Chain A
Amino acid sequence: MIETVALTKAFGSKVALAAIDMVVPDGSIYGLVGPNGSGKTTLLRILAGLRRPTSGEVRLGARPGEVAVLPDTPHFDSWLTGREVASIAQRLSDPHGDPGQVDAVLQDAGLAEAAGRRVGGYSRGMLQRLGVACTIVGKPRLLLLDEPASALDPQGRREVLDLIARLRGTATVLFSSHILGDVQEVCDTVGVLDDGRLLFQGPLESLLIGAAVPRYTVRLRPPLEPIALSLRSADWVDSVEVVPPDQLLVRVRSLEAAESKLPETLAAAGARVVSYAPEEISLERAFLELTR
Chain B
Amino acid sequence: MSLWRLEVLRLVRTRRWVALFSVYLFFGFLGPVTARYLRDIVSFAGGDRSGVTITFPAAIPADGMARYVSNAVQIGTLVTVVVAAGALAFDSPPEMGVFLRSRVNRVSSILLPRLVIPFLAASAAFVIGALAAWYETWALIGALDTSRLLLGIGFGIVFIAFVVALVAAVAQWSRGLLATVMASVVALLVLPILGIASAVGRWLPTSLAQALANLPAGGEISPYIGASVVTMVSIAGLVWLALIGARRREL
- The answer to whether A48 has its CB under 8 Å from any CB of chain B is yes
Chain A residues with Cβ under 8 A from B1's Cβ?
Answer: 84, 87-88, 91
**B102 with A79: CB separation less than 8 A:** no
- The answer to whether A134 has its CB under 8 Å from any CB of chain B is yes
Task: Give the CA-CA distance A64 to B105 in the complex, in Å.
Answer: 6
With A51-B251, A52-B250, A88-B6: A74-B95 Cβ-Cβ less than 8 Å: yes
Distance in angstroms from A141 CB to nearest chain B CB is 14
Chain A residues with Cβ under 8 A from B101's Cβ?
Answer: 50
A-facing mask of B94-126, CB < 8 A → 1, else 0?
111111111111000000000000000000000
**B250 with A71: CB separation less than 8 A:** no
- The answer to whether B39 has its CB under 8 Å from any CB of chain A is no
Task: Give the CA-CA distance A69 to B14 in the complex, in Å.
Answer: 27
Chain A positions within 8 Å of B, measured between CB atoms, are: 45, 48-52, 64-65, 67-69, 71, 73-77, 79-80, 84, 87-89, 91-93, 134, 138
**B10 with A77: CB separation less than 8 A:** yes
**A68 with B102: CB separation less than 8 A:** yes
Chain B residues with Cβ under 8 A from A87's Cβ?
Answer: 1
- The answer to whether B147 has its CB under 8 Å from any CB of chain A is no
Chain B residues with Cβ under 8 A from A138's Cβ?
Answer: 103
- The answer to whether B2 has its CB under 8 Å from any CB of chain A is yes
Chain B residues with Cβ under 8 A from A88's Cβ?
Answer: 1, 3, 6
With A64-B105, A80-B9, A91-B1: A75-B251 Cβ-Cβ less than 8 Å: no
- The answer to whether B49 has its CB under 8 Å from any CB of chain A is no
**B10 with A89: CB separation less than 8 A:** no
Chain A residues with Cβ under 8 A from B250's Cβ?
Answer: 45, 50-52
**Which B residue sits closest to A118, measured CB to CB?**
B13
Chain B residues with Cβ under 8 A from A50's Cβ?
Answer: 97-98, 101-102, 250-251
Task: Give the CA-CA distance A92 to B10 in the complex, in Å.
Answer: 18
**B102 with A48: CB separation less than 8 A:** yes
**B105 with A75: CB separation less than 8 A:** no
Distance in angstroms from B1 CB to nearest chain A CB is 5
- The answer to whether B93 has its CB under 8 Å from any CB of chain A is yes
**A73 with B95: CB separation less than 8 A:** yes
**Which B residue sits closest to A138, measured CB to CB?**
B103
**Please, how many residues of chain B have a CB less than 8 angstroms from a CB on the other chain?**
23
Chain B positions within 8 Å of A, measured between CB atoms, are: 1-3, 6, 9-10, 13-14, 93-105, 250-251
**B13 with A79: CB separation less than 8 A:** yes
Distance in angstroms from B16 CB to nearest chain A CB is 11
Question: Which one, A51, A84, A89, contacts B103 given CB within 8 A?
Answer: A89
Give the most central of B1, B6, B100, B101: most A CB within 10 Å: B1
**A65 with B105: CB separation less than 8 A:** yes
With A52-B250, A92-B104: A76-B9 Cβ-Cβ less than 8 Å: no
**A75 with B93: CB separation less than 8 A:** yes
Chain A residues with Cβ under 8 A from B104's Cβ?
Answer: 64, 92
**Given A64-B104, A92-B104, A134-B99, 8 additional A-B pairs, CB 8 A:** A48-B98, A50-B250, A51-B250, A64-B105, A77-B96, A84-B1, A88-B6, A92-B100
Chain B residues with Cβ under 8 A from A48's Cβ?
Answer: 98, 102
Chain B residues with Cβ under 8 A from A76's Cβ?
Answer: 96, 99
Task: Give the CA-CA distance A235 to B17 in the complex, in Å.
Answer: 81
**Which B residue sits closest to A50, measured CB to CB?**
B251
With A88-B1, A91-B2: A75-B95 Cβ-Cβ less than 8 Å: yes
**Which A residue sits closest to B109, measured CB to CB?**
A92
**Which B residue sits closest to A127, measured CB to CB?**
B95
Task: Give the CA-CA distance A84 to B94 in the complex, in Å.
Answer: 20
Chain B residues with Cβ under 8 A from A74's Cβ?
Answer: 95, 99
Task: Give the CA-CA distance A50 to B249 in the complex, in Å.
Answer: 8
**Which B residue sits closest to A64, measured CB to CB?**
B105
Task: Give the CA-CA distance A138 to B99 in the complex, in Å.
Answer: 13
Chain B residues with Cβ under 8 A from A67's Cβ?
Answer: 102
**A69 with B95: CB separation less than 8 A:** no
The 20 listed contacts between A and B (C-beta, < 8 Å) are: A48-B102, A50-B101, A50-B250, A51-B250, A51-B251, A64-B104, A68-B102, A69-B98, A71-B94, A71-B95, A71-B98, A74-B95, A74-B99, A75-B96, A77-B6, A88-B3, A89-B103, A92-B100, A92-B104, A93-B103
**Which A residue sits closest to B90, measured CB to CB?**
A77
Task: Give the CA-CA distance A119 to B9 in the complex, in Å.
Answer: 14
Distance in angstroms from A252 CB to nearest chain B CB is 47
Distance in angstroms from A151 CB to nearest chain B CB is 13
**A49 with B99: CB separation less than 8 A:** no
Chain A residues with Cβ under 8 A from B97's Cβ?
Answer: 50
Question: Which one, A51, A64, A75, A79, contacts B99 given CB within 8 A?
Answer: A75
Chain A residues with Cβ under 8 A from B98's Cβ?
Answer: 45, 48, 50, 69, 71
Chain B residues with Cβ under 8 A from A93's Cβ?
Answer: 103
**Which B residue sits closest to A95, measured CB to CB?**
B2
Question: Which one, B2, B94, B102, contacts A49 given CB within 8 A?
Answer: B102
